[in-house]
A and B are shown apart, each in its own frame.
Chain A
């Protein structure tokens, strides 16, 4: 009996259930269900579960919380069957010296998956310490020896709320930190929503396990499959935008009818993420089912996209009647209006020919 069969038996899972889970993962990765058997084979063949070092620095632990809510695979399967979490302060049994030894053992062996949650404090370095070392000290040790680095959540990627003005501690995300340290950012992937979507993490891990490479990313090192499209373009309320039906007051009848939240300040038109497709909490819901999008996948959204309950500036609102052709222009016009960061996203994507690529991905997912 191979390892997979043993594991399945231990779970009382049929092979069929397992393949179903793999198919869900394949869909999340935008690969199509025909890829599921490849994932299954790769998972079964892995002689050892890949070691994971999961560090938590300047954070709220919300990303760990989010990942413990994962379904297909659930968190227990992730930890017991898919990977081997050698170090994660929030779940590990031992503490202090014993925990530190687990970290040292894994880091000296090298070749682990490094999951980073939280920002690095580079201004007041001692604003973040673990085991007698600052986050800067630890980062310099654990990043170089890692096979890949997955920055989960907006803190690890961009510094998030603690990096918002006036950024009292000099909080920075992984991309900026690694670049400033001259580290190889080709092994970095950033999953930037606040909190991380567990689907993004599990699909990135299994993509790496099955292909030995990272998914194609944008200039922020975000996988295009998850961050290549605007929230607005996939939004379940999009038809109301196109038809000019807007919520004018929170908690109103128009809101009960789930009209478009653009006038309530929704940042969907300037935010690149697939939240409307993968949802949160085991596909239970997502922000726009409860309120507006505040753009939490974007760099510096706490400073650049604020006044969250006022509409984004510089955008023509559709009148009554279908104007679908104009809606896309609005998105592009908006990118220029809402700051250099977003415009740069378009520019870089276009320069790399990735806007076209994104379109292909969309079509592929529609087939699934």
Chain B
């Protein structure tokens, strides 16, 4: 059976090696292998407790906000600190800046080139002066003979099916999106100091009291981003979807979805996960028609598996017991891994005993099913399904196209919600509430947990403190769910491995379709 090795998988955060076995032009089996290990959890141990979030932000430079937030929430949980409402509001505002930047960047720069054929845009009939300008710019670039980052593309692949005019429109928006995601990051930086790696979020709340001019700058930058999302990104999704309806039946996966929830909503003071804007919950067995949302108990439901990882084995342990002890047994350079018992740096994770897909699709499903008509997700998803002739057909979302649509629609909701937080902050400050921070307790001890989704999906931190020092730290990132290698004694495939099965491959030399399934997870 021909095997395809893709290494590096490009246009992702992190380092990924993927192998697929192809039979009759379809993926029969797959292995995902993370090829980077740093030992961050070990490094945080022994540090002053309130410093932890500075270390853990550096786990991901694409999503430092949710790492910093989970760290701070978990430290507060361990130390028994209640943060002021304004502290929560500021964290929501920072998280929104993070999300707005992330999803825009993903839609065009990371995922977009799988669907948009840039060279084809040169042959388009430009319908506006703006598009003519972009076309000229691309022409100069191509005429230079130095195609740079575009040279390696699979541009003559038959799976690129957009007409030249749509390719030009999307290419123009690709270029514009780079500026827009920078604007979203500037909104983030107004409050956080810089993006990535903000300085604003110690345990206790928020370090600085915002000035009105900062709130203004934040709000106006967000409006600019929202304008782009409403008038370009969402219409782009609807414009290209009809050409790629095949993606609605590719990349199904296990059909188990899970989210810790993210962004506070109608009980801001309590911040209960099941009441968040994207609420906490799990759906197990969606492909069998089970769409009931189950509650999640982090102490009972989450297990970390080591049976396929290059770390010392502690099979099926809770994150409070999980350790990072590297023990590399693979081939030098990680050349080929299929068939090896241990074949990745990532550990695997199960929820309620099964592998779970995490990310915006899971988040949108929870908002849709938990909050129902009281939440804008319901109307948005229903009308989008109707617009593509799939009214009421929620299962069509369990696919690559579903993930792409969910992430795009989600960010439109987030942009609206961002401005609601701005108003809430202004209202509080107008009423004289200038409380943003609760002081550090002296040398706290205890266990703490926080689950709060990152842009790519479920992210949680577990911490144990002993006399003001971090004595244990554990993180499960979204990749720790989606890119799990085989797990449990049954060696069940990880969510992405399972989603790759069934992906068509027209040309093993140019595995564009495999990249589409991978990128739909925003790895």
Binding site for B on A (CB under 8 A): 3, 6-7, 9-12, 48-49, 51, 56, 58-66, 68-71, 74-76, 79-80, 84-102, 121, 124-134, 137, 160-162, 164-169, 171, 194-195, 249-253, 255-256, 264, 280-282, 284-294, 296, 302, 306-310
B324 interfacial contact with A, CB 8 Å: yes
> Closest CB-CB distance, B449 to chain A, in whole Å?
23
Most buried by B among A125, A129, A251: A251
Query: Nearest A residue to B519 by beta-carbon distance?
Result: A95
In the docked arrangement, what's the CA distance between A220 and B103, Å?
Answer: 37
Are A69 and B193 also in contact (CB < 8 A) when A85-B149, A306-B51 are?
A: no
Residues of chain A lying within 8 A (CB to CB) of residue B146: 48-49, 51, 84
Are A250 and B141 also in contact (CB < 8 A) when A165-B43, A281-B185 are?
A: no
Whether A62 and B200, one on each chain, are in contact in the complex, defined by CB atoms closer than 8 angstroms, is: no
B313 interfacial contact with A, CB 8 Å: no
> Closest CB-CB distance, B180 to chain A, in whole Å?
11
Stretch in B57-65, B262-270, B352-360 with 4+ CB within 8 Å of A: B57-65
Residues of chain A lying within 8 A (CB to CB) of residue B324: 168
A-B pairs with beta carbons under 8 Å apart, 8 shown? A7-B140, A12-B133, A85-B148, A97-B509, A195-B196, A252-B209, A287-B194, A290-B199
Residues of chain A lying within 8 A (CB to CB) of residue B182: 68-71, 74-75, 281-282
B328 interfacial contact with A, CB 8 Å: yes
In the docked arrangement, what's the CA distance between A48 and B48, Å?
Answer: 51
Residues of chain A lying within 8 A (CB to CB) of residue B346: none
Residues of chain A lying within 8 A (CB to CB) of residue B332: 125-126, 134
Residues of chain B lying within 8 A (CB to CB) of residue A160: 58
In the docked arrangement, what's the CA distance between A220 and B473, Å?
Answer: 33
Whether A251 and B195, one on each chain, are in contact in the complex, defined by CB atoms closer than 8 angstroms, is: no
> Closest CB-CB distance, A123 to chain B, in whole Å?
9
Residues of chain B lying within 8 A (CB to CB) of residue A294: 54, 199
Stretch in B150-158, B232-240, B404-412 with 4+ CB within 8 Å of A: B150-158
Whether B13 and A90, one on each chain, are in contact in the complex, defined by CB atoms closer than 8 angstroms, is: yes
Partner of A255, one of B6, B64, B207: B207
Whether B37 and A95, one on each chain, are in contact in the complex, defined by CB atoms closer than 8 angstroms, is: no
Residues of chain B lying within 8 A (CB to CB) of residue A281: 182, 185-186, 188-189, 194-195
Residues of chain A lying within 8 A (CB to CB) of residue B14: 61
Stretch in B391-399, B429-437, B487-495 with 4+ CB within 8 Å of A: B429-437
CB < 8 Å A-B pair total: 329
Query: Nearest A residue to B7 by beta-carbon distance?
Result: A131
In the docked arrangement, what's the CA distance between A101 and B152, Å?
Answer: 8
Partner of B186, one of A69, A133, A167, A307: A69
Whether B326 and A124, one on each chain, are in contact in the complex, defined by CB atoms closer than 8 angstroms, is: yes
Most buried by B among A74, A93, A137, A256: A93
Residues of chain A lying within 8 A (CB to CB) of residue B10: 89-95, 99
Within 8 A of A (CB), among B437-457: 437, 439-440
Q: Is the interface of B mostly helix, strand, loop or mixed?
A: loop
> Closest CB-CB distance, B300 to chain A, in whole Å?
30
Partner of B149, one of A92, A97, A127, A306: A92
Whether B208 and A49, one on each chain, are in contact in the complex, defined by CB atoms closer than 8 angstroms, is: no
Whether B54 and A68, one on each chain, are in contact in the complex, defined by CB atoms closer than 8 angstroms, is: no
Whether B43 and A76, one on each chain, are in contact in the complex, defined by CB atoms closer than 8 angstroms, is: no
Whether B330 and A126, one on each chain, are in contact in the complex, defined by CB atoms closer than 8 angstroms, is: yes
In the docked arrangement, what's the CA distance between A62 and B54, Å?
Answer: 14
Partner of A284, one of B61, B186, B310, B434: B186
Of all A-B residue pairs in the complex, the 3 with the closest CB atoms, nearest first, are A62-B61, A94-B152, A251-B437
> Closest CB-CB distance, A119 to chain B, in whole Å?
9
Partner of B140, one of A10, A250, A285, A296: A10
Whether A132 and B7, one on each chain, are in contact in the complex, defined by CB atoms closer than 8 angstroms, is: yes
In the docked arrangement, what's the CA distance between A290 and B182, Å?
Answer: 19
In the docked arrangement, what's the CA distance between A12 and B175, Å?
Answer: 14
Within 8 A of A (CB), among B110-166: 110, 113, 118, 133, 136-137, 139-141, 144, 146, 148-155
Query: Nearest B residue to A75 by beta-carbon distance?
Result: B178
Q: Please name 7 further chain A to chain B contacts, defined as beta carbons within 8 Å, in addition to the given A61-B60, A63-B61, A74-B179, sorted by A numbering.
A: A96-B7, A99-B10, A121-B37, A126-B330, A169-B38, A250-B204, A286-B193
Whether A280 and B195, one on each chain, are in contact in the complex, defined by CB atoms closer than 8 angstroms, is: yes
B197 interfacial contact with A, CB 8 Å: yes
> Closest CB-CB distance, B137 to chain A, in whole Å?
4
Residues of chain B lying within 8 A (CB to CB) of residue A75: 178, 182
B47 interfacial contact with A, CB 8 Å: yes
In the docked arrangement, what's the CA distance between A120 and B64, Å?
Answer: 22
B3 interfacial contact with A, CB 8 Å: no
In the docked arrangement, what's the CA distance between A167 and B40, Å?
Answer: 9
Most buried by B among A6, A65, A256, A296: A65
B375 interfacial contact with A, CB 8 Å: no
Query: Nearest B residue to A161 by beta-carbon distance?
Result: B58
Whether B178 and A309, one on each chain, are in contact in the complex, defined by CB atoms closer than 8 angstroms, is: no
In the docked arrangement, what's the CA distance between A84 and B186, Å?
Answer: 26
Whether A58 and B195, one on each chain, are in contact in the complex, defined by CB atoms closer than 8 angstroms, is: no
Within 8 A of A (CB), among B1-60: 4-15, 17, 35-40, 42-43, 46-48, 50-51, 54-55, 58-60
Whether B437 and A68, one on each chain, are in contact in the complex, defined by CB atoms closer than 8 angstroms, is: no
Partner of B185, one of A69, A126, A292, A302: A69
Residues of chain B lying within 8 A (CB to CB) of residue A131: 7-8
